[in-house]
Structure 1
Amino acid sequence: MSPKKVLILGLLLLVPIFLFLFLKGFGTNHYALPFYYPEVDENTEMPIVRDGDTVFQKIPDFRLVSQEGKAVSQADLQNTVYVANFFFASCQDVCKKMSAQMVRVNEAFRNNPQVKLISYTVDPERDSVAVLKQYANMYQADPAKWLFVTGPKKEIYTLAQTGYKVAAVEVPGTVPDFIHSEKLILVDKEKHVRGIYDGTNAQDVDRLITEITVLLHSYQQNEK
Structure 2
Amino acid sequence: MELKFFKKSIPTLIFLVVFSAVGVTVFYHLLKVDNRLKIYNPSDVNPRLVDESMFHIQKNHTIADFSLVNQNANIITNNNYKDKIYIADFFFTRCQTICIAMAYNMSELQEFYKNDDEIMFLSHSVTPVIDSVSVLKEYANRKGVIDGKWNVTTGSKKHIYDLARKSYFAVLDEGNGDENDFIHTEQFVLVDKERRIRGYYDGTDKNEMEKLKTDIVLLKEEYASK
The interval holding the TM-score normalised by the smaller chain is 0.7 to 0.9
Q: Distance in 1 between matches of 2:43 and 2:96?
A: 37
Are positions 1:146 and 2:143 aligned together?
no
1:57 is the counterpart of 2:61: yes
More helix by share: 2
Distance between the aligned counterparts of 1:116 and 1:47, measured in 2? Answer: 27
2:39 aligned with 1:35:
yes
Please give the alpha-carbon distance, in whole angstroms, between the structure 2 residues aligned to 1:182 and 1:194: 17
RMSD: 2.6
Deviations 1:184-221 (A, max 9, x none): 00000000000000011110111001111211121112
Residue in 1 aligned with 2:208? 204
Measure, in 1, the Cα distance between the counterparts of 2:124 and 2:140.
12
Offset from partner CA, 1:46-102 (integer Å, 9 cap, x none): 765xxxxxx320000111101010001000001100000000000012111111111
Query: Is it true that 1:125 corresponds to 2:129 in the alignment?
Result: yes
What are the equivalent positions in structure 2 for 1:1-224 lying under 5 Å apart?
A: 30=32, 31-37=35-41, 55-167=59-171, 169=174, 178-222=182-226
Whole-angstrom CA distance in 1 between matches of 2:190 and 2:97: 23
C-alpha displacement at 1:103, in angstroms? Answer: 1.2
- Which segments of 5 or more consecutive residues in structure 1 lack a partner in the other structure? 1-26, 49-54
1:118-157 Cα offsets, whole Å, 9 max, x none, are 0000000110001111111111111210000100101101
SS in 2 for 1:179: coil
Q: Which has the larger radius of gyration?
A: 2
State TM-score, norm by structure 2. Answer: 0.75
Secondary structure of the residue aligned to 1:97 is helix
Relative distance call for 1:200 and 1:76 in structure 2 (3 A) is same
Gaps of 5+ in 2: 1-27, 45-51
From the superposition, tell whether residues 98 and 220 of structure 1 become closer, same or farther in structure 2 (CA, over 3 Å).
same
1:34 and 1:140 map into 2 onto residues whose CA distance is 32
Check whether the contact 1:187–1:194 (CA below 8 A) recurs between aligned residues. Answer: yes
Query: What is the CA-CA distance between 1:177 and the residue it aligns to?
Result: 6.0
The answer to whether the 8 Å contact 1:108/1:209 transfers is: no
Provide the C-alpha distance between the structure 1 equivalents of 2:157 and 2:42, rounded to a whole number of angstroms. 26
Q: Which amino acid aligns with 2:220?
A: L
Give aligned pairs, total.
Answer: 184
Contact preservation (8 Å) 1:34, 1:194: yes
2:41–2:57: 8 Å Cα contact kept in structure 1? no
Q: Cα offset for 1:35?
A: 0.5
- The answer to whether the 8 A contact 2:187-2:200 is kept is yes
Q: Which has the higher strand share?
A: 1
